[in-house]
Amino acid sequence: MTQQHIEVGIVVERRTVVSPWIDHAWTPLAILPEPPALAPWTELPGTPDRRSIYLGPATLTLHSVDTAHFRENFQAGRARLWVAIRPTGIEPEIEFVGVTADPFEGEVYAENVGDVVEALPMPQAIAEQVLAFFEAHHVEREFIKRKRTEHDPRKGAAPRPDPGTRRREDEA
């Protein structure tokens, strides 16, 4: 299996919310095609209610077995990258979980109830690299539907007594 690694930068947003349970929420905001020369957790220009923070660099890994999924991502319209973050309950308040161009892997990220997952627009520079990877490594695979075998309840099951020869408990 061939892999390609693309370094990206992750920007998150901490926004104030009106709720009796929490005072703020985190969400992935943007993906930068190259990690900037900033330290992780650098605050970017924003407002007091909506603070943008450079979370840090991340690695987008492309796998040759996922090229059909990349094609579906591009065929769905605007290509996306899925970014997942997780609240930690300690400092720092969140941690990076992953970034992917595979919509099915993005769906897997969303299965963890505590994680925050966003499908963000894929920057053009990254889209070009993903498409080049697709063109270099995609192999069309024929779909083969498996045939069902008829279930035989007698195979592998313990023999059942014949109902006609069953004795009642009071006869025993």
Q: Which helix (H) or strand (E) holds 16?
A: strand 3-16
Contacts of 36 (CB under 8 A, 6+ apart): 9, 54
pLDDT in tens, 4-13: 999 999 999 9
pLDDT confidence tier of residue 158, bands split at 50, 70 and 90 = low
pTM exceeds cut of 0.85? no
Residue holding tokens 């991502």? 73
Query: How much helix, strand and coil, in percent to the nearest 5, is found in the chain?
Result: 20, 35, 45
Report CA-CA distances (Å) from 125 to 4, 6, 34, 116. 15, 11, 9, 25
pLDDT in tens, 91-141: 889 999 999 999 999 999 999 988 999 999 999 999 999 999 998 888 877
The one-letter amino acid code at 141 reads R
- Residue 56 and residue 17: Cα distance in Å, rounded? 24
N-terminal to C-terminal alpha carbon distance within the chain: 67
